[in-house]
Amino acid sequence: MNGPINTYELIEKYCLDLMDDREKLFYEMEIEKNPALKSAVHEHKTLMLSFEHMQDRDFIHSTLDHIHSSSRSNTDAVLNQLKLHVNKYWKTASVAASVAFMASILTFMVARSVYQRDNRNSVIQLKGYINNIEKEQKKINNEIAKVKKKVAPVPEGPSKYTGTSFALTQNGYIVTNFHVVDGYSKIFTFTADNVGHQTEVVVTDAENDLAILKITESDFKFGAKIPYSVKKSNPSIAQRIYSLGFPKEDIVYNEGYISSTTGFEGDSSHYQLELPSSSGMSGSPIVDESGNIVGIISDKLSQSEGITFAIKSKALLNLIKKLPKDFNSNEIASNQLKADSRSTQVKKIQPFVCVVKVYND
Amino acid sequence: MGSNSQFNMSDESLISSLACGDTKAVQYIYKSFYPTIEKMVFKMNGSVDDAYDIFQDSVTIVYEKAKADDLHLSCQLSTYIVSVAKNLWLKKLSKNKRQSVSVLYDDMEESVAVDSDISHFHEFENNVTKLQDCFIKIGEPCNTLLKAFYVDNKSMQEIAINFGYTNTDNAKTQKYKCLNRLRKLFFNKNENEFLNERTY
């Protein structure tokens, strides 16, 4: 990862004009030699300009909103201005009256019409004032929303236990093993970008070792639609499958096949898989060749290498039925990976596979 | 309309304090020019909201040009800002296919050519719209992280603390990943572009 990051840090340094003359000269020579770099620099500049514009307009908008609303709410000032206008025109009228009575009436009428126009203006201004109250209110609501979404900090120190989980909906429903979260309330889900999100248990099925969790941030969203589906029917023996899980900090891909359609000691809710697995992979999705989720890793035979047990996806679908109404099961009903090569499938699934870490209270 | 205020500021000093982001300058501009522009937009079939929107855009244009030291006026600032507002409003009207208003407000005193400034502004605005769209698409935490760094000017240390990263390097890596995703979305790129290669 260091290569591209360094490249990009240099681009940023160059665009911010933080290079000394010598460095800049060399860098510009390099840019001329390398068209890919040249276009990267150009793109970065465009993005930075857009950011800057966003910043500028935010500054002007918020400053003006403040001035605009306080000037509109200052009704005294508006009234004073109105009085000032009236006085001015009355004075004109009285001067005119001393010259000729007719003229004074005329002037009076002119003054009156001006006064009326001012009145009309103040009505419009009042309307603006109400609009501004609405705007202010919206702003306050936004602030409240911001405070609400204040993210709980990830606890210091090492986690007690880690497992793997994967997304069921874009708004943060995920599934893992019951034994991963059993007895813990401090649960954090680390998405592919390595950011921890506070998570709560929504519904569990201890018998089948399943737990459906929800990331609590109200505005949390996975970056894309769920690409895979959870399969209703059971796959047959010998079918090839693969898994994605977190036995270490980085995601690990493994492949194998279904060696038996029952689990440990004939447990019909499980499969037996010929698939390497290790701790931390509890909760990993088992995916078939066309990108359907067919199971979830639960445990392995401690004495043997390569034998892993997985919960059948049907148990997951049964548990989903117990979820609240805001859970949209359509999201995992269609599979968009059928036509993709294995590596593309994995690349698309990867963002939806997360680490679950539990901490002591 | 400078007469509205108790004291008069020269255009030059106004522009230079605006360039520094002085809110007093923005306030002065509001007091001096907003009533004129509001009246103008009213006359050209606009509402209070329209007038205020147009005014905000006009001040943004003036602010950005002032900041870039690019506001070399051959006329008074008031003439410039009114011309900008008028043109912005005309553009908006023609876009909305409302009635032609050229007849409605041909008695504009004096105006100056502002076309290129306005088209630059619209280009920026389009980019910002696109950017905001991409921000939604990249989701959290990238959205907040990138805005914290590039829009709110937070330091990487602050970001590392706020987002629960163990150190600044992790936060930097994350920022890079996020920016890269944003870049791909913004420029409609496929994944695995050249930046993933290590050829330079």
Based on the domain organization, do B35 and B113 belong to the same domain? yes
Between strands A173-176 and A210-215, the pairing is antiparallel
Question: Is any Cβ of chain B less than 8 angstroms from the Cβ of A36?
Answer: yes
Mean of the pLDDT values across residues B169-192? 79
User: Considering the domain boundaries, does residue B145 fall inside one?
Assistant: yes
Question: Which pLDDT score, from 0 to 100, does residue A109 have?
Answer: 66
Angstrom distance (rounded) from CA A25 to CA A19: 9
User: Considering the domain boundaries, does residue B133 fall inside one?
Assistant: no
Q: Do A53 and B64 touch (CB under 8 A)?
A: yes
Residues A165-176: b if buried by 16+ CB within 10 A, e if exposed = bbbbbbbbbbbb
Q: Do B150 and A48 touch (CB under 8 A)?
A: yes
CA distances, A191 to each of A198, A332, B35 (Å)? 11, 19, 51
Q: For residue A4, give the nearest of B163, B181, B195 by CB distance.
A: B195
Based on the domain organization, do B8 and B58 belong to the same domain? yes
Q: Do A193 and B176 touch (CB under 8 A)?
A: no
Contact A253, A243 (CB under 8 A): yes
- Which CATH number applies to A155-361: 2.40.10.120, 2.60.40.10, 3.90.600.10, 2.60.40.3080? 2.40.10.120
> Which residues in chain A (283-322) have CB-CB distances under 8 A to chain B?
none
Q: Do B196 and A4 touch (CB under 8 A)?
A: yes
Residue of A nearest to B146 (CA): A51
Mean pLDDT computed over every residue of chain B: 78
φ and ψ of A228, to 5 deg: -105, 165
User: Considering the domain boundaries, does residue B125 fall inside one?
Assistant: no
Percent of chain B with pLDDT over 70: 82
Contact B103, B147 (CB under 8 A): no
Question: Which pLDDT score, from 0 to 100, does residue A149 have?
Answer: 52
Residues A8-17: b if buried by 16+ CB within 10 A, e if exposed = bebbbebbee
Domain extent, residue B154, equals 139-196
Question: Which pLDDT score, from 0 to 100, does residue A185 have?
Answer: 82
Angstrom distance (rounded) from CA B198 to CA A36: 12
Fill in the DSSP letter of residue B147. Answer: I
Sequential pLDDT tens for chain A (361 residues): 456 777 888 888 888 888 888 888 888 888 888 888 888 888 888 888 888 888 888 888 888 888 888 776 554 445 444 554 555 555 555 555 555 566 656 666 666 665 555 555 544 445 545 666 677 777 777 666 655 555 677 787 778 888 999 999 998 999 999 988 888 888 999 988 888 899 999 999 988 889 999 999 888 889 888 999 999 888 888 999 999 999 888 899 999 999 998 888 778 888 899 998 888 888 999 999 989 999 999 877 666 678 888 999 999 998 988 888 778 888 888 888 888 889 899 999 999 999 999 888 7
Q: Containing H/E element for A357? A: strand A353-359
Q: Containing H/E element for B134? A: helix B115-138
Mind telling me how many Å the CA of A276 is from chain B's nearest CA? 29
Based on the domain organization, do B20 and B93 belong to the same domain? yes
Chain B residues inside the 8 Å CB shell of A9? 172, 176
Model ipTM value: 0.81
Question: Which pLDDT score, from 0 to 100, does residue A80 have?
Answer: 47
Amino acid at B41: V
Place of tokens 């040249």: A38
Based on the domain organization, do B112 and B145 belong to the same domain? no
Q: Do A131 and B127 touch (CB under 8 A)?
A: no
And the tokens for B100? 């032609």
* pLDDT tens for each residue of A94-125: 555 555 566 656 666 666 665 555 555 544 44
Question: Which pLDDT score, from 0 to 100, does residue A151 have?
Answer: 62
Best probe of the A interface among B43, B48, B123, B145, by most A CBs < 10 A, is B48
Higher pLDDT, B4 or A131: A131
User: Considering the domain boundaries, does residue B130 fall inside one?
Assistant: no
And the tokens for B27? 């306030």
User: Considering the domain boundaries, does residue B134 fall inside one?
Assistant: no
Based on the domain organization, do B99 and B155 belong to the same domain? no
Q: Do B56 and A196 touch (CB under 8 A)?
A: no
User: Considering the domain boundaries, does residue B124 fall inside one?
Assistant: no
Angstrom distance (rounded) from CA B4 to CA B31: 7
Residues with Cβ within 8 Å of residue A253, at least 6 apart in sequence = A242, A243, A244, A346
Question: Which pLDDT score, from 0 to 100, does residue B3 have?
Answer: 42
Chain B residues inside the 8 Å CB shell of A27? none
Residues with Cβ within 8 Å of residue B74, at least 6 apart in sequence = B112
Q: Do B194 and A36 touch (CB under 8 A)?
A: yes
Domain-terminating residue out of B52, B86, B119: B119
Question: Is any Cβ of chain B less than 8 angstroms from the Cβ of A137?
Answer: no
Quote the strand ranges of A179-336, DSSP E: 186-190, 196-205, 210-215, 229-230, 240-245, 252-260, 270-274, 285-288, 292-300, 307-312
- Judged against a pLDDT cut of 80, whether residue B107 lies above it is answered with no
Angstrom distance (rounded) from CA B114 to CA B125: 16
Place of tokens 């770099």: A37
Angstrom distance (rounded) from CA A188 to CA B101: 59
Mind telling me how many Å the CA of A334 is from chain B's nearest CA? 21
> Which residues in chain A (39-78) have CB-CB distances under 8 A to chain B?
40, 43-44, 46-51, 53-61, 63-64, 67-68, 71
Angstrom distance (rounded) from CA A286 to CA B99: 62
φ and ψ of B115, to 5 deg: -55, -45
Amino acid at A227: P
* pLDDT tens for each residue of B25-58: 888 889 888 988 888 888 888 888 888 999 999 9
Determine the Cα angle at B82 with ends B79 and B85, to 5°: 150
Total number of domains in chain B: 2
Best probe of the B interface among A27, A62, A132, A193, by most B CBs < 10 A, is A193
Closest CA to A285 of A271, A276, A295: A295
Angstrom distance (rounded) from CA B169 to CA B173: 6
Based on the domain organization, do B149 and B114 belong to the same domain? no
pLDDT band of residue B7 (cuts 50, 70, 90) is: low
Mind telling me how many Å the CA of A182 is from chain B's nearest CA? 25
And the tokens for B89? 């409003």
Q: Do B151 and A55 touch (CB under 8 A)?
A: yes
List residues bridging with A274 in a β-sheet: A257, A307
